[in-house]
Amino acid sequence: MDLETMGWISLLPAIIAIVLSFATKNTIVALIAACLVGTLAAGQGIMGLPTLIKEATGTTGFSWVMLLNLYIAIIVAFFHKTGAIQAFSDWVHSKNLKRKGVQLLAWFLGIFVYFSDSFSPLFVGTVMRDISDRAKISKEKLSYIADSTAAPVSVLVPITGWAAYLMGLAVGVGCIVSQSDAQRLFIKAIPLNFYPLFAVIMVGLVASGIVKDFGPMKKAELRAINEGKVLRDGATPLIGKELLEMKPYPGIAPKVFLNFVLPVILIIVGAMATFFILKSAKTMEVFLGVVIFMAISMLIQGIPFREVMDTVTQGIKSGVPAVTLLALAYSVNKLSTDMGTANYIIENCESFLSPAVLPAIIFVVAAVMAFATGSSWGTFAICMPIALPLAFAYTNDTMTTLVVACFAAVAGGGVFGDHCSPLSDTTILASTGAGADHIDHVKTQLPYSLICGALAVIGYLILGFTSL
């Protein structure tokens, strides 16, 4: 297969970004360096850097993620200003939940808000932040729970944007001629989507204490338990100080149902209703509607208009660190796309392909691509049009277990690589929601993700040599 690529040079931006992120513990500096080296390697000169950032952030995809992130930040600010978060935290604290109970509550909340991988980590992190602090749970552990119940859950449920996107990529390939065919393929692939299944189960086992903490996570948890430090000394929480310093408006009694439970219900019902009625979840419109609803309800409760607008401003400010990181991550992703990083990886893996190992190889390739680019959806868009035709070529255009396994391998591999990458938007949002240092989150989550990834590879190999 002759694909356009700049060869091994195309790997430079991703390698520099990832290595410098861990070496300097400053992701923004690492991403800027990666963008600069990438533009120079691509022959665009130093002035190519502002052009790259402009083009990467001028897309509808980035605009969607940015606006959604800011809407969520405003809603979270409203939660704080009305005292709803504090009231919920006090209510949970009154139940005398131990560490395991708090961790399991975070796990259940993440699964409950399955419909959006962007909202889920921010919601879980924000709601559970004070509660987990009281229970002496490290920020690293909270961000791990939030991250592992976001994309892994969204990619397993057939009524999410992830499912719609993956099904759309499958239509028109082989015997998949309609949306209903693609839906059947997706549902059949759920039990073979090993990585997300293992990731969700693993975090549940860790939260319940059945699987003990190990590696960097154990060190972080011992620090939190023994020293009461939920963040390590010198850590840089990926959250604006505006939310950390925000106090509830004095003189009004917190209304947990009106200011917290009802908005969440509206988001979930709105997303599901638009998906079933319009065949597309209007997530952006639903979040904007909830922002307006909460602003009006705050005015009715007696909070002055100026205070409401100040809260909106503070919410937006609190989202700026994450948006900045997302903008640079999108820039590295665009560089990798322009330089043919994915094509280079695919070209160097084709010679290893055979039906028995095809799902495992596809999973690994998708994982490497998502890790290098920080984009699981970008990986899906590149891998699915290659993986499915390869599978159908072995099955004479018949939907067999091989086809289903390859579809699942692309989906699971993309999530796996995304999970391990400091460039991933969901990883960034998990750090933001929990108020964790971003690199600390990535470093402590990595061993758990690698174990689940290794189990997924073993699963695909067993499947390949016994059933394909």
Average pLDDT, integer, range 346-359: 76
Q: Name the residue type at position 453.
A: G
Residue 437, helix vs strand vs coil: strand
Provide the 3-class DSSP secondary structure of residue 118.
coil
pTM over 0.85? The answer is: no
- Measured distance CA(47)–CA(413) in Å, rounded: 35
Distance between CA 398 and CA 379 in Å, rounded?
24
Residues 306 and 2: their CA atoms lie apart, in Å, by: 60
Least confident of 17-26, 52-61, 361-370: 17-26
Reported confidence tier of residue 47, pLDDT bands at 50, 70, 90: confident
pLDDT in tens, 247-298: 788 878 888 888 888 988 898 888 788 878 887 667 788 889 989 999 999 9
Tell me if 12 is assigned to some domain. Answer: yes
333, part of any domain: yes
Q: What are phi and psi of 135, to 5 degrees?
A: -85, 5
| % of the chain at pLDDT higher than 70 | 95
Residue 2: pLDDT over 60: no
Domain extent, residue 235, equals 7-467
CA distance 45 to 390: 39
Residue 211 is assigned to a structural domain of this protein: yes
Look over the chain and give the mean of its residue pLDDT values, rounded to a whole number: 86
How far apart (Å, rounded) are the C-alpha atoms in residues 200 and 213? 16
- The verdict on residue 26 lying in a domain is yes
pLDDT digits 0-9 by tens, 309-343: 999 998 888 878 778 877 887 788 788 778 877 67
**Cα dihedral 221/226/227/228 (nearest 10):** 70
Is residue 227 situated within a structural domain?
yes
CA distances (Å), 344 to each of 1, 3, 5, 369, 374, in order? 11, 8, 6, 10, 16
Mean pLDDT on 435-454:
95
2: in domain: no
pLDDT digits over 152-161, tens only? 998 998 877 7
The pLDDT of residue 98 is above 50: yes
Q: Which of 384-388, 419-423, 429-433, 463-467 has the lowest mean pLDDT?
A: 384-388
The answer to whether residue 127 sits within a structural domain is yes
pLDDT above 90 for 122:
no
The distance of Cα 410 from the centroid of its chain, to the nearest Å, equals 16
pLDDT given for residue 164 in this prediction: 76
Please give the residue that has the higher pLDDT: either 58 or 448: 448
Instruction: Provide the pLDDT for residue 277.
Output: 84
Would the pLDDT of 355 be above 90?
A: no
For 232-243, how does the pLDDT look when each residue is reduced to its tens digit (9 = 90+)? 998 888 776 666
Question: How many distinct structural domains can be found in the chain?
Answer: 1
- Altogether, the residues listed in the chain come to a count of 468
Q: What dihedral do alpha carbons 422, 426, 429, 431 form, nearest 10°?
A: -50
Residue 1 lies in a domain: no
